[in-house]
C-alpha cells in the first residue's frame, strides 16, 4: 500500500500535515468530499487542479531512490541530475479575485509520499500557494 501526503496551508503558513496509508486516487476523492463543507459558496470557487510537478535531484542516486523516482517518468538531465514528475493535486476552497490576480487564501495539497526531498518541495509549494500577495509597484513607471 502506498502513502499519500496531505498538506493544508492558510495564508502562507502550514496548518497541518498528514500522511495516510492510501493510494493517491482513493485519497483525493475522500479529501475532496471532506473539503466541500469547508467551502464558502458565497465568496469562493471550489477548484481541484491536478498538476505534474517537476522535481530535480542531483546524481548519483541510490538504488532505492532510482526505484522510487522511476515510477514518476524519470529522465536524466544534461546537468548531472535526474528529473521526474510528481502528481500534485491542489484543492482550493477559500479564494478570491484581487484585481487581476486570483488569490488562494487556503488550500489542501495532496501528493504521493516519495521521499523527504520531495516532501520538502511539496510543502514549500503548499506554503507558497497561499502566501498573501504583496502590493507591488512592478510595471508601474513614475511620470518624470
Query: For 95-104, how does the pLDDT look when each residue is reduced to its tens digit (9 = 90+)?
Result: 998 888 889 9
Distances (CA, A) of 114 to 3, 56, 63: 8, 13, 14
Answer yes or no: is pLDDT of 135 > 60.
no
CA distance 23 to 26: 6
Nearest to 83 by CA among 62, 56, 118: 56
Answer yes or no: is pLDDT of 47 > 60.
yes
Give the confidence band of 134 by pLDDT, cuts at 50, 70, 90.
low
Answer yes or no: is pLDDT of 82 > 80.
yes
What confidence score (pLDDT) does residue 85 get? 97
What confidence score (pLDDT) does residue 108 get? 98
Query: For 51-77, how does the pLDDT look when each residue is reduced to its tens digit (9 = 90+)?
Result: 999 999 999 999 999 999 999 999 999
What confidence score (pLDDT) does residue 41 get? 93
What confidence score (pLDDT) does residue 143 get? 47
Q: Which residue has the higher pLDDT, 23 or 144?
A: 23
Nearest to 49 by CA among 66, 70, 32, 34: 32
Q: Are the C-beta atoms of 99 and 136 separated by less than 8 Å?
A: no
Q: Are the C-beta atoms of 48 and 90 separated by less than 8 Å?
A: yes
| Continuous segment of H or E residues that includes residue 16 | strand 13-21
What confidence score (pLDDT) does residue 99 get? 86
**What pTM was computed for the model?**
0.87
Q: Phi and psi of 89, rounded to 5°?
A: -110, 130
Residues with Cβ within 8 Å of residue 135, at least 6 apart in sequence: none
Answer yes or no: is pLDDT of 20 > 90.
yes
Amino acid at each position: 500500500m502506498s502513502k499519500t501526503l496531505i498538506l493544508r496551508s492558510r495564508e502562507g503558513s502550514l496548518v497541518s500535515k498528514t500522511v495516510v496509508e492510501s493510494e493517491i486516487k482513493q485519497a483525493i476523492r475522500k479529501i475532496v468530499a471532506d473539503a466541500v463543507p469547508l467551502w464558502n459558496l458565497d465568496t469562493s470557487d471550489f477548484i481541484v487542479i491536478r498538476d505534474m510537478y517537476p522535481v530535480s535531484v542531483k546524481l548519483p542516486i541510490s538504488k532505492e531512490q532510482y526505484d522510487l523516482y522511476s515510477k514518476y517518468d524519470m529522465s536524466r538531465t544534461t546537468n548531472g541530475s535526474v528529473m521526474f514528475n510528481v502528481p500534485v493535486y491542489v484543492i482550493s476552497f477559500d479564494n478570491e479575485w484581487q484585481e487581476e490576480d486570483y488569490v488562494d487564501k487556503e488550500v489542501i495539497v495532496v501528493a504521493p509520499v516519495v521521499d523527504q526531498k520531495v516532501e520538502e518541495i511539496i510543502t514549500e509549494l503548499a506554503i507558497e500557494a497561499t502566501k498573501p500577495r504583496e502590493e507591488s509597484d512592478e510595471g508601474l513607471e513614475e511620470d518624470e
